[in-house]
Amino acid sequence: MKIDQPWLNDKATQKVCSVLTDAGAEALFVGGCVRNALLEAPVSDMDIATNIEPRHVMDLAKAAGIKAIPTGIDHGTVTLVERGIPHEITTFRKDVATDGRRAVVVFSKDIAEDAKRRDFTMNALYARPDGTVVDPLGGITDLRARRVRFIGTAEHRIREDYLRSLRFFRFHAWYGDHDEGFDANGLAAIAANLDGLEGLSRERVGAELLKLLAAADPAPAVAAMRHCGVLGVILPGSDDRALAPLVHLEGGMAPDGIRRLAALGGEDVAERLRLSKAQAAALEDLRKEAAGTKGPRELGYHLGAARARDTLLLRAALLEQPPAPGSETEISKGAEASFPLKARDLMPDLQGPDLGKAMKRLEGEWIASGFTLSRDELIARAKG
């Protein structure tokens, strides 16, 4: 079996692979890029695995005039930059110690050892530079059935790294068969090992959950997370009832993790998931304004068209009522509106804090007028 993808034939990528194969070493694409190529899904990043040690990879690259950066040389990864494009090459590895969060690894020459330390059978697929698929653990059968299945004993694999419990739901949301449902054995093992989730770093949990929520339809996976107790541990106080209605109301618009996260609610969400400042602010606006009563035009004015639309969808999902017809036009009007009064229009009669207060009051009156008061009318009101 072969994959055929434009990135496989890229000159820079082929050159990087030849540096390894010309020296008699392996160069194998691995993980998401092979899985997605077989599923005919878009490929975002590609990883290359090899059977020689990172120092040796560095030496071969330098001899071939390719820039080599020891990005993560201790755990096996070096980056080769050819034609300005970075390629990550990672030596086959095997875990020698795990603590539920991170692993101590040693390098290996054996592809089967490298495959066995990966999480799911569909993620342990490799491809040679000519596209020939190498499948050391029989992952293709599971991939064809869109079955997310742990490699080895689910319980052991979860205890080695509890993030795998969240990845199980992520990959199911993206690539699983929704009619078939979840692998029962995997689900049971996850439910029996909830306590380890608390020890994961908040960044890893946050990044993983946002990736899950960016799937076309994450609602079944999130419902399963609630059933087996995972959701309650990572997002206490959350409620996924509004998620499926939200996805339905979105009607195929581009998925947005923060919009979906806002539908779940919960306590100290930004803190628990280590969201960026911008993400935390967007989440807070969404929660607050969806629970409020501002109309579409005012939301458009305050939040801009995209977030106003998100707010109305979220409000509709929470209230189980579709947004009022004509909302879209109203949002655009609000987003395009600009307050006609400038501070200097009120000077020098008003100064300092009084000026600020008057501007705020008049902006409120202008919004309440349906954005109709003119500059002159506002100046007259300031004086009156």
Rounded Cα gap, residues 91 and 76, in angstroms: 5
Phi/psi at 51 (nearest 5 deg)?
-100, 5
CA angle 138/141/142 to nearest 5° reads 95
Region class of 131: left (phi > 0), else alpha (psi between -120 and 50), else beta: left
When CB distances are held under 5 to 8 angstroms depending on the partner's kind, the choice from ligand ATP, Mg ion, none that residue 243 binds is none
When CB distances are held under 5 to 8 angstroms depending on the partner's kind, the choice from Mg ion, ligand ATP, none that residue 323 binds is none
Stretch near ligand ATP under the rule CB under 6 A, chosen from 119-127, 223-231, 242-250, 344-352: 119-127
Say which residues have a Cβ less than 8 Å from residue 69's Cβ, sequence separation at least 6: 78, 79, 80, 81, 86
Nearer to ligand ATP, 8 or 316 (CB): 8
Residue 374 Cα distances to 71, 89, 252, angstroms: 59, 63, 39
Query: Can you name the residues that pair with 98 across neighbouring β-strands?
Result: 103
SS (H, E, C) 307-337: HHHHHHHHHHHHHCCCCCCCHHHHHHHHHHC
Q: In the structure encoding, which two tokens stand for residue 56, read together? A: 């040796």
Nearer to ligand ATP, 213 or 373 (CB): 213
Nearer to ligand ATP, 93 or 309 (CB): 93
Residue 44 touching ligand ATP (CB under 6 A): yes
Residue 118 touching ligand ATP (CB under 6 A): yes
Q: In the structure encoding, which two tokens stand for residue 374, read together? A: 């003119």
Residue nearest to ligand ATP (CB): 32
When CB distances are held under 5 to 8 angstroms depending on the partner's kind, the choice from ligand ATP, Mg ion, none that residue 123 binds is ligand ATP
Site size for ligand ATP, by CB under 6 A?
Answer: 12
When CB distances are held under 5 to 8 angstroms depending on the partner's kind, the choice from ligand ATP, Mg ion, none that residue 260 binds is none
Interface residue with ligand ATP among 119, 240, 289, 310 (CB under 6 A) is 119
Residue 40 touching ligand ATP (CB under 6 A): no
Rounded Cα gap, residues 140 and 121, in angstroms: 8
Query: Can you name the residues that pair with 90 across neighbouring β-strands?
Result: 49, 77
**Minimum CB separation from Mg ion for residue 216, in Å?**
18
**305-334: which residues touch ligand ATP (CB under 6 A)?**
none
**Minimum CB separation from Mg ion for residue 43, in Å?**
9
Given a contact cutoff of 8 angstroms between Cβ atoms, the answer to whether 243 and 219 are in contact is yes
Given a contact cutoff of 8 angstroms between Cβ atoms, the answer to whether 86 and 80 are in contact is yes
When CB distances are held under 5 to 8 angstroms depending on the partner's kind, the choice from ligand ATP, Mg ion, none that residue 179 binds is none
Interface residue with ligand ATP among 26, 82, 114, 161 (CB under 6 A) is 161
Interface residue with Mg ion among 8, 19, 26, 32 (CB under 5 A) is 32
**6-35: which residues touch ligand ATP (CB under 6 A)?**
31-32
**Minimum CB separation from ligand ATP for residue 44, in Å?**
5
Interface residue with ligand ATP among 37, 89, 163, 246 (CB under 6 A) is 163
Rounded Cα gap, residues 324 and 4, in angstroms: 47
Given a contact cutoff of 8 angstroms between Cβ atoms, the answer to whether 64 and 19 are in contact is yes
Interface contacts to ligand ATP, rule CB under 6 A: 31-32, 44-45, 47, 118-119, 123-124, 161, 163-164
